[in-house]
Structure 1
């Protein structure tokens, strides 16, 4: 059984690192194999799905989703950050503190999603621009999650490990002292280090990273050069037919983004121009603003009997943004749109916005969009009414609206359910602090109240806020820790650490646990790492005859302090494209920081949790 367990563990870790198969599928596969080979029983295999950690995570996703959807966290973060004014260092500290505070209650991925557009906006006027702020913000998301029991899954994992070993359950704020210390240490370190993200050779690129004005976005994506105006003849087959019926993207690979209707009279200027929607209908004499290749436009003009207008011919020869706007949308790594082509996304019908271009790894894709498959961290340029763009920013957690540009970035609609979300969140914290009910009950009470008070549009919206991949990952991986303990793998690794490092004292063993966790977290998720290393840390502490608390906290701190790779945590991945970071940026900043943090924690953790 021991060899079988080790083989399954190694295969699982290889697949985690490879990344081609979703992590939850890998975890479920390892669970099934452990069950098939008789390493664990059926009850042990299914125990993860009834574990309080997993149930609490389900409730917390709903609570965090409500806080996110009502705009509570976004508005609070924006207001607090803006209080500090334009002083760059004060703003830097404020961003880190606010991000850490929100991350303690909302979860690291949700915090990154709501803080990213805020930081893009408030850092626009600084000399360094967003590039100095976004990576530290991502690090603060992970460290903020360390400050409460509910902030990040590794915290709940080590609490469960202690309970199963017969120790008292950790409380909501048991993590706060060490979490706050690490966050403050990170701020002190990143104030000087963050300047290396904006070295002089890159200062000219700062303007590219701030939220752009509408004209700047249009120029960046070459909209003016890719938009052709055509006038509809009186005998055109377009007349009287809706654009949904015409299906121009399918037939000609073109998108009509605006109509100028002359019937309103010359004295009204551009008031006759309107955004095109699926039900818009062109008429004779209308001027259409068509986005696409010249050859496709010419074919369309010939077959649909329209006249191509030359530059300066007619009125309104350039795009205007009176009734509609453009914005950039960053796809989340786990978005369901990934690997689907633009036509399949059906953005125009669902959200009333058009996809005009894609920015991918610094390159711009502006033609043949309908067949282009979307990839993780693509930035989409979308066009629509400002109302629809704002709804897009609040309607889904699979993307982040980066570019409600400077003219409208500060205009955040205040949802009338925001006070309910604030009161319910406060109630949950009070229940958990006072231990009136078990923590999992407090979370479920809060989740239920969020739904009943209308903080979601409907129950399905609440279910959609749950990250099922993370939930299934931890539920399926928990039995792996059971298998490691049953077959003696945990004891074997722990004994190896104790034999090789224990003779040097508990500090050496603590450093060994910390750096082992740190190295593993580079390759697989921090949740999976915590599940695997927590029982080993417990066994190692028991073998040395010392308190397990510093060793288990070393696991959760190390799992959260993974800065060396952009793919080790969701926040790191989210800011990579928005900040125009390269992999080497994480290596040169995060690498020394990650290993220096281990040296400090080796001596600091025993101060908080003595051996």
Structure 2
């Protein structure tokens, strides 16, 4: 027992100091427990096969799908319309929505669904995500105390009461005391948020401009129009070289999008391709034409195309980068080198389209933007060329350093562009996961794994490699390494000795003092063992202690349930705390500074309020 407590204390000190990475500390603690014979290898490694760890892996992939499809951005944009960009308003909204969600969905599932949305929300509002993610995790715990099914400890105390001959608790038995806890937590976090990470200023995360910034710089939204190939159009079944549209009308057909129908209509997608001389146009194709409005109108009239953008540029709403940059196709800026062989050549002689299958959309020459009639334009030293092509082809340009240099990192930018056409699929998968978690038709871990696999199979996560990249392995190792610690504590009798000693020693001082002892004991033990295991251990002890005093067991049982759920002072005490750790860039010290005071405040309030709702 002494060795176990010593290892736990040493690990806690290292977590707080931050001298060694948390995941390395967790694995080192496991090794020591095995070397001293406290845990067998099977017991020590059992945490990595735990349903909690597998669920976290699946949830990271689900979150990645929500991000990569742009679903998080779309939802956060709507939430911003409701709450604005004020940090206080956003924090309140995030906590209210999370707590409401957590009344029926597990706190881990709640955080997994909402975390990518909150990160996108914070980014859009120019707020450090760390200002909202810890409140998100804590609010999920508050939500679990609002209903009977909100969190496992609630069901544990009901089972203990029923086994002892007491009546069942109703679905809303927890709601009054849970609402008090939520309000206290919300107000406390409004004061404690001063210890959360602040916005980082003056740091440039990457060189080069994003697709959105490039689109604005080159005024692309004013020069891009869409035209559809109708049933009566004369361009159907003809190649672009045969039509020679670019030369005749001084416009560029830069991209073609067409529907690709699978047998399953659910999998219908939009296929995109860069327009080349050999491209054959088909009925229903959407042509993206770059040029002035008058020129584009002449093209559509000549060939019987259906112009989808009917207004003149001055009246059009800026389309942004989404018309030019998608998950498959992107834009980038290219600078000519001093000794480039392209200097003095015409754009049509550059070979960009023939060699690299990319189009030149614009040229920045000092303070001027050249956007039209580019084929006959000579390229000069110092010119910046805006090119469009597939991200793969743009990346090939980066390998060529003799004549030009690609500014920025195309591969990195391609991962930032969302697959908006997949957003409805991601929403459907997320809804399916929520329904399965709420109805509990199958185990929660199975529900999450199904959702994760569907995200990959249906293309919401680009590749399996991208799915692996969405997983934060530091958090997985941390939780997997610390879960067996509860086995060591229980195996050596340390937890039972502590709980029995406190209950027996405080019983003589009256029910209020005993209630405080039960709550504090539960709250402390939950830092080191799971809240469910903590409730299972302490519920019978609290029940027997109440019987010995001849008082109602209800306030003591609720103290166990709520104390087991309100655990905020450690990142590995609950899966939600661990899930937000990497995304919020938190240290162990952040949980101590914010979570520990919150946990203390909650304890004081609960000890005072519980007897009012459940008299002795």
- Show the counterpart of 1:554: 563
- Show the counterpart of 1:438: 443
- Show the counterpart of 2:141: 146
| Alignment partner of 1:544 is 2:549 | no
How far apart, in 2, do the equivalents of 1:172 and 1:322 lie?
Answer: 61
| Alignment partner of 1:487 is 2:487 | no
Contact 1:55/1:440 (8 A) holds in 2:
yes
Deviation at 1:607, TM superposition (A): 7.8
Gap change, CA 1:446 and 1:554, over 3 Å in 2: same
Contact 2:63/2:112 (8 A) holds in 1:
no
Contact 2:525/2:534 (8 A) holds in 1:
no
- State the SS of the aligned residue for 1:440: helix
Matches within 5 A, 1:265-414: 269-271=368-370, 286-287=381-382, 384=408, 391-393=414-416, 413=418
What do you get for the CA RMSD once the two structures are aligned?
Answer: 5.9
- Show the counterpart of 1:61: 60
Gap change, CA 1:448 and 1:30, over 3 Å in 2: same
Gap change, CA 1:35 and 1:196, over 3 Å in 2: closer
Contact 1:143/1:179 (8 A) holds in 2:
no
Gap change, CA 1:604 and 1:72, over 3 Å in 2: farther
- State the SS of the aligned residue for 1:455: coil
How far apart, in 2, do the equivalents of 1:136 and 1:33 lie?
Answer: 36
- Show the counterpart of 2:7: 8
Gap change, CA 1:88 and 1:540, over 3 Å in 2: same
TM-score by length of 1: 0.53
Tell me the alpha carbon deviations over residues 348-394 of structure 1, each in whole angstroms, 9 at most, x when there is no partner.
97998xxxxxxxxxxxxxxxxxxxxxxxxxxxxx9748x87764546
5+ residue gaps, structure 1, are: 125-129, 199-204, 218-229, 242-260, 273-282, 290-320, 325-347, 353-381, 395-412, 563-567
Deviation at 1:29, TM superposition (A): 2.7
- State the SS of the aligned residue for 1:559: coil
| Alignment partner of 1:51 is 2:50 | yes
Contact 1:140/1:183 (8 A) holds in 2:
no
Matches within 5 A, 1:565-580: none
Tell me the alpha carbon deviations over residues 564-608 of structure 1, each in whole angstroms, 9 at most, x when there is no partner.
xxxx8775886689xxx9x99995x87765532322233456788
Tell me the alpha carbon deviations over residues 58-82 of structure 1, each in whole angstroms, 9 at most, x when there is no partner.
3333333322332323321321231
Contact 2:134/2:584 (8 A) holds in 1:
no
From 132, 139, 154, the equivalent of 1:137 is: 132
- Show the counterpart of 2:457: 452
Tell me the alpha carbon deviations over residues 258-297 of structure 1, each in whole angstroms, 9 at most, x when there is no partner.
xxx9x9797992449xxxxxxxxxx9962389xxxxxxxx
Deviation at 1:557, TM superposition (A): 0.9
How far apart, in 1, do the equivalents of 2:415 and 2:81 lie?
Answer: 24
Deviation at 1:136, TM superposition (A): 5.7
- Show the counterpart of 1:115: 118
Deviation at 1:433, TM superposition (A): 2.5
Gap change, CA 1:285 and 1:383, over 3 Å in 2: closer
Gap change, CA 1:264 and 1:40, over 3 Å in 2: closer
How far apart, in 2, do the equivalents of 1:174 and 1:390 lie?
Answer: 51
How far apart, in 1, do the equivalents of 2:35 and 2:592 lie?
Answer: 41
5+ residue gaps, structure 2, are: 164-168, 211-334, 344-359, 372-377, 389-393, 399-405, 547-552, 572-576
How far apart, in 2, do the equivalents of 1:209 and 1:118 lie?
Answer: 21
Gap change, CA 1:40 and 1:592, over 3 Å in 2: closer
- Show the counterpart of 2:232: none
Matches within 5 A, 1:419-434: 419-434=424-439
- Show the counterpart of 1:416: 421
Tell me the alpha carbon deviations over residues 409-441 of structure 1, each in whole angstroms, 9 at most, x when there is no partner.
xxxx56222222222222222223223223233
Contact 1:73/1:102 (8 A) holds in 2:
no
Deviation at 1:485, TM superposition (A): 1.8
Gap change, CA 1:610 and 1:42, over 3 Å in 2: farther
| Alignment partner of 1:469 is 2:469 | no
Gap change, CA 1:559 and 1:421, over 3 Å in 2: same
- State the SS of the aligned residue for 2:420: coil
Deviation at 1:143, TM superposition (A): 2.2
Gap change, CA 1:436 and 1:267, over 3 Å in 2: closer
- State the SS of the aligned residue for 2:459: coil
| Alignment partner of 1:32 is 2:35 | no
Deviation at 1:554, TM superposition (A): 0.8
**Computing the radius of gyration over CA atoms, which structure comes out larger, 1 or 2?**
2
Gap change, CA 1:102 and 1:507, over 3 Å in 2: same
Contact 1:148/1:172 (8 A) holds in 2:
no
- State the SS of the aligned residue for 1:558: coil
